[in-house]
Amino acid sequence: MFTKETYINRRSVLLEKMKGETGIAVFVGNVESPAQYRDNGYKWRQDSNWLYLFGLDEPRMAATIDLETGEETLYADDFGIDDIIWMGPQPSVSSLAAEVGIKNSASYGAFDVAVLNAVVRGRKVHFLPASRYYNACKIASLLGLDTEAVFSSCKKGCKEASEALVRAIVSMRLVKEEQEIAELEKAGALGFEMHTAARRGIRPGRIEQEIVGAMEAVVLSKGWGVSFPTILTQHGEIFHCHTHDLPVAPGKLMVVDAGAETNSHYASDHTRTYPTSGKFSTVQKDIYSIVYQCNELAFSLIKPGIPYRDVHLATCRHILGGLKDLGLVSGDIDECLDLGIAGLFMPHGLGHNMGMDVHDMEDLGENLVGYDDDQSRSSQLGLGSLRMARRLKPGNVITDEPGIYFIPDLIELWKREGTDKGHVNYDKLKDYYTFGGIRLEDDVLVTKDGARRIGASRLPIAPDDVEEAMAADNN
C-alpha cells in the first residue's frame, strides 16, 4: 500500500507544478451518500483526487494548501462519546493528519472560515470540479458561485474551477506510479475472477440478475465493489443497459462489460462477448472475428509516441474493411473513414484512461484529460466520443475496447438522412437488426517501449478459446 512519503511527495510535486500561482488550493473530501434516506448511505467511497493527494479514506474531511507558503491543513472533527458508541474508538484528527504528513489540523467548520478568510483578503481560491452534489454545493456557497458551475464543471474546459490545478493533477495522475500499477494489477486479477464467474454463469434459462449477483459476490468478497455498474446484456447494441431481468436465451450474444475496484480503489474494466449457447453461429463469428482482430491490432500499435486517436482510426479502418468483405459497406475505405461511417457501427471511442476511476479523472474534464494541444475533439459520431486521444506516454493505462453494434434506430436515422452517401448496404443490414452487438476490451499499460496488458491472465478472447472455455465450464 501507499506510504506517508507517497502522499508527501505527490503534494510536493503538485506544489512545484503550481509554482507561479497565488492563493490557496482547497479540497473537499466526500461525505456519505444517501441511498434510501439521509442516514442510510450507499457504500462509502472517498473522492479519487482526495485519495490521491491525502490518502485518508474517511468521510467529512477537507484540506487547504497555501500555494505561496506550502502550508497544509487538514479539517475534520474529532469524535465524541456518541460516535464511539456507534462507530467504536476513532483516531484523532491530528494523528490522521500526521499519518499522511500534514502538520496542521483544525475542525471541519474551520475549513469554511479558512476559505472565507482567503476570499475576504482577495486571495485566489483554486478548486477542482466537484463530483458530487454535496461537494459542489459546499464550494459554490462558500465562493458565491452557481452550483452547476462547480459540479464537474470542466466537461468542456473549466468555467469556475482552477484550470491550473486541474492541469497539474491530470499531468500527475495520467502517469501511473509503480505502486499504482501494482494496485491496478490486483484489480485486473479480481476482474479476471469476476468475468470468469460471469462466463460460467451463462446458460440458457438462467436470469441475467443471478449471474450479476455471482459476479458481484467475487468483487465484494475481496475488493471494494464494482468499478462501474455491471453491463451484462443480450442487447449489446444498447451501451448502458443496466436491467438484468431477462432469462438467458439460446443463440444470442451476451455482452459482459464489468470491472472490479480493489479496497485501495483502483479499477479494472474488461469486456467479453459470449455466445449464449456456447458456440458462435457463422454470422456471429464473422462479426466477432473483426472485433477480435481490432482488439489485437490496437494492442500491437500501442507504444509511447503514438496518439491514441490514430489507434482508434486504425481500428475504424479495420472495421470498415471487414464489413466491406461481408458486403455491408462498399466503396473506398478512406472515403468511408472520412465520412465517419465506422461510427455507425462503433459509435464510441476505442478507449479511455483508467486508474482510480474507471474513466480516469472524467470529472476533471475529458478534454483536459484525454486531449492536449496536439489533439482536438472531433464532432463525428464515434470519434467524437473518444475519451483519450493523446500521444501515449509510458505509465499511461488505457482500455482497448473496439466493438461492432447494429442499432436499428440509428441505422434507420442514417438511411433517412443519407449520412453515408451511398456507402452502406441498408438492405443487407436488415438481417442484422436482431444481432445485438459485440465489444472486446482489455486494460493496457503503456511501457517504455511498447505495451503490456494488465492482469496476469488474459480472459479467453479468440473465438475458439472462448468456445473451448465455455465447453469446459459446462463440464
- Judged by the rule CB under 8 A, the positions of this chain that interact with a second copy are 33-45, 48, 81, 84-89, 131-134, 137, 141, 147, 151-152, 209-210, 212-214, 216-222, 227-229, 235, 237-242, 261, 267, 347, 356-359, 361-363, 407, 409-410, 413
| Shortest reach from residue 239's CB to a second copy, in Å | 5
> Which one, 3 or 141, has the nearer CB to a second copy?
141
Taking the complex as a whole, the smallest distance from the CB of residue 74 to a second copy amounts, in Å, to 21
Task: Give me the least distance between CB of 150 and a second copy, in Å please.
Answer: 12
- H or E element in which residue 226 lies: strand 225-226
Closest to a second copy by CB, 41 or 321: 41
Decide: 231 and 253 in contact? Cβ < 8 Å. no
Nearer to a second copy, 101 or 387 (CB): 387
The least CB distance from residue 147 to a second copy, in Å, is 6
C-alpha span between 4 and 342 (Å, rounded): 48
Q: Answer whether 273's CB lies under 8 Å from 196's CB.
A: no
Distance CA 216, CA 237 (A): 23
**Minimum separation from the CB atom of position 465 to a second copy (A):** 27
Q: Which is nearer to a second copy, 20 or 88 (CB)?
A: 88
CA nearest 266: which of 296, 230, 227, 237?
A: 227
Residues 6+ apart with CB under 8 A from 268: 184, 187, 188, 190, 191, 227, 259, 260, 261, 354, 443, 454, 455
Among residues 354, 269, 351, 395, which one has the least CA distance to residue 48?
354
Query: By C-beta, is 44 or 426 nearer to a second copy?
Result: 44
Best CA proximity match to 315, nearest among 328, 302, 329, 326: 302
C-alpha cell at 200: 460460467
Q: Measured from the CB of residue 407, what is the shortest distance to a second copy in angstroms? A: 6
| Alpha carbon distance 359, 380 (integer Å) | 21
Q: Which is nearer to a second copy, 36 or 379 (CB)?
A: 36
